[in-house]
Amino acid sequence: MQYKPAILPSGSDTEKRSDSCPNGWVKSPLNNCYRFVSSPKASWKTAQGFCLDEGGTLATMDNADETYWLKGYRLFHANLHFSAWIGGYKKNGQWLWHGRITDSTIVATDWAPSEPNNANGNEDCIETYGSGHVWNDLACHEPRGFICEKDLDF
């Protein structure tokens, strides 16, 4: 069955049109486009599949600037205060950003205190959670909202 996200409530910033991001995507000052999906919640893999189908990936925090902009944006918008998958996952013990073609090593991290803790021995995907939208490693099958990212359309 194809994954179909719910449309966020009307009036949300994510529905505003942008010059360079598709409708439903938010443009950042760093010239990335983000799409916030709060429901229905999905596993990391299903979420990643949706983002790939949309021409992007689950969001990748490529540096501290990107992390802090996205956190600030979410803190400022009440409808974005949900736990969300981003594109980090663990492969052979190493944390990577999942790319459309190749993965990349995670350089700038934003782990919550005492995370990643691999709590049940199977926490191989990264969610953002809590009021600060910091990172937690979590079992990939857990249902969560998620954030996709793609490049600007030129």
- In order, the DSSP letters of 86-143 are EEEEEETTEEEE--SSS-EE--S--BPTT----TTS---EEEEETTTTEEEEE-TTS-
Closest contact distance (angstroms) between CB of 10 and Ca ion is 27
**Is residue 110 part of the contact set for Ca ion (CB under 5 A)?**
no
Task: Give the total of residues touching Ca ion (CB under 5 A).
Answer: 7
Residues of this chain, 18-77, that bind Ca ion according to CB under 5 A: 60, 62
- In order, the DSSP letters of 134-149 are EEEEE-TTS-EEEEEE
Amino acid present at 118: N
Beta carbon nearer to Ca ion, 8 or 125: 125
- In order, the DSSP letters of 12-65 are -GGGS--SSSPTT-EE-TTSEEEEEEEEEEE-HHHHHHHHHHTTSEE----SHH
**Is residue 117 part of the contact set for Ca ion (CB under 5 A)?**
yes
Please identify, among the stretches 39-47, 77-85, 99-107, 122-130, the one whose residues bind Ca ion according to the rule CB under 5 A: 122-130
By CB under 5 A, name the one of 38, 48, 67, 136 that touches Ca ion.
Answer: 136
Closest contact distance (angstroms) between CB of 116 and Ca ion is 6
Closest contact distance (angstroms) between CB of 83 and Ca ion is 12
By CB under 5 A, name the one of 14, 89, 137, 150 that touches Ca ion.
Answer: 137
**136, 127 contact by CB (below 8 A):** yes
Closest contact distance (angstroms) between CB of 120 and Ca ion is 9
Tokens of 90: 């663990």
Closest contact distance (angstroms) between CB of 9 and Ca ion is 26
Beta carbon nearer to Ca ion, 38 or 60: 60
Pairing of strands 26-27, 144-151: unpaired
Task: Give the binding site for Ca ion (CB under 5 A).
Answer: 60, 62, 117, 119, 123, 136-137
